[in-house]
Chain A
Amino acid sequence: MILTGLLARALQMSTPLMIGSLAEVFAERTGVMIIAIEGIFLLGAWGGFVGAYLSGNLFLGLLFAMFVGTCVAAIYGVMTIKLKQHQIVTGTAINIFAVGIGLYLYRVLFGVPLLPLTVDPLRNIPLPFLSRIPIIGEAFFTQNILTYIALLLMPIGCWILFRTRLGLIIRSTGENPEAVDSAGLNVEKVRLLTVLAAGAMDGLAGAFYSIGFLGLYTNDIIGGRGWIAFAICFLGNWNPMGAFLGALVFGLADATAIVIQTSGFKLIPNEFLIAIPYILTIIATISRKHFNVPAVLGTPYIKERK
């Protein structure tokens, strides 16, 4: 019973990390780090909640979250790709801005409610047959729709990146933009479009936190999870399968913390459990020696100035 609960929780907690880190893998393969990921997660959570609350439809909430994510990614993309400003600095600015604007627009829309507003979160959909497998059936196949989407996205992402022409373009843009340019493709366009798509995915990942299981929006709802997705992309060696494994490990750490907290086991302080994913990131970053970093990661593409 505990095992089933733990595995189910682990898969649940790793869902947004999978989507977010896959998005980051694609963007970074073109040479753009989405430092604004934490802010996009946050505004995605905001968009998901607002969309769902106002329309009364969770699906519209998810769509709105993707739209918001794309918009924020567009600001970030234009500033870093077209205007060639520094990615870390721009991303940090957007992250600060996201905290303020999310809370402010919440207030604009809803005033100051006495109780926090809630929506019914996404329901779990047991898959026929598969969910009846003992232990793992209930853990892996009784999840909400976003988890299934995430699980489908990982192999699709792998396929696109390594087996299609599009994937080749994406990878080349991060390794040798000059070659992509001389092949007649527009480097900035490839990057911008990838960043927009990644923004939509990050928005969806953020919405998982607001309407995927809590059903409400608060300003600290993400609490660094965006950074963890960012880290997983590094640790997974810019490979969708690596990101998938990383997300599972972090989901398990998160779930273990929650399970131990709720079980009333007092020997380990709560705070230590909360810190586990972050400590894990530090250890993994330190111990990882051989990285396969896209060659021009973090560098704007500058054609010869005429």
Chain B
Amino acid sequence: MNFTVINNGLHVGMVRIIGVSSSSVFLIGDADKISLSSIFDTPPESLIIGPFVPLSLD
């Protein structure tokens, strides 16, 4: 595989971001390696309706 990158001049006026979250990256510059992983879990059984039970300790 041949991979060619040509970076010409870059001038950005304004960047507006509300949120960068859950292992995300906002980078102005160069990077060699980026590896981002995120697990988000909201299964049906995580919705507990009923009497209050504290979360288990183990």
Mutual binders A and B: no
Using a CB–CB distance below 8 Å, which chain A residues touch chain B? Answer: none
Using a CB–CB distance below 8 Å, which chain B residues touch chain A? Answer: none
